[in-house]
Structure 1
Amino acid sequence: MRKVIFAINITLDGNCDHTKGNPDGEVHDYFTELLSGAGILAYGRKTYELMVPFWPDMARDQSGPTKELNDFAKVFDAIDKVVFSRTLANVEDAHTRIVSTDPCDEIDRLKQEEGKPISVGGVDIPSQLIERGLVDEYHFVVHPIIAGEGRRLMGGINLMESLHLKLVETKLFKSGSVALKYVKG
Structure 2
Amino acid sequence: MRKLIYGINISLDGCCDHTRFSGTDDIQDYFRELLEGTDLIIYGRKTYELMVPFWPEVAQTQSMNESGNAFAKVFANIKRIMVSHSADSANDKQTIIIRDNLKEEILKLKQQPGKAISTGGVELPARLIELGLVDEFHMVVHPLIVGQGRRLFTEMSLPENLDLKLTSSQMLSSGCMALRYTLLRG
* Band the TM-score falls in, shorter-chain normalisation: over 0.9
Partner of 1:13: 13
Contact 2:20–2:146, Cα closer than 8 Å, also in 1: yes
Contact 1:6–1:138, Cα closer than 8 Å, also in 2: yes
Contact 2:32–2:70, Cα closer than 8 Å, also in 1: yes
Partner Cα distance (1:97, 1:16) in 2? 26
Partner Cα distance (2:44, 2:174) in 1? 30
Q: Pairwise mapping of residues 92-171 of structure 1 onto structure 2 (< 5 A)?
A: 92-171=91-170
Residue-pair matches, total: 184
Partner Cα distance (2:106, 2:149) in 1? 28
Q: Pairwise mapping of residues 85-96 of structure 1 onto structure 2 (< 5 A)?
A: 85-96=84-95
Contact 2:25–2:67, Cα closer than 8 Å, also in 1: yes
Q: CA deviation at 1:114?
A: 1.4
Partner of 1:50: 50
Identical-pair percentage: 50
Contact 2:17–2:149, Cα closer than 8 Å, also in 1: yes
Contact 1:103–1:125, Cα closer than 8 Å, also in 2: no
Partner Cα distance (1:92, 1:71) in 2? 23
Q: CA RMSD in A?
A: 0.9
Partner Cα distance (1:16, 1:75) in 2? 23
Q: TM-score, normalised by structure 2?
A: 0.96
Secondary structure of the equivalent of 1:106? helix
Q: TM-score, normalised by structure 1?
A: 0.97
Secondary structure of the equivalent of 1:122? coil
Partner of 2:62: 62
Partner of 1:179: 178
Partner Cα distance (1:176, 1:102) in 2? 41
Partner Cα distance (2:120, 2:50) in 1? 11
Gaps spanning 5+ residues in structure 2: where? none
Secondary structure of the equivalent of 1:39? strand
Return structure 1 stretches of 4+ with deviation > 3 angstroms: none
Q: 1:150-175 CA deviation, whole Å, 9 max, x = no partner?
A: 11111111111100100010000121
Secondary structure of the equivalent of 2:19? coil
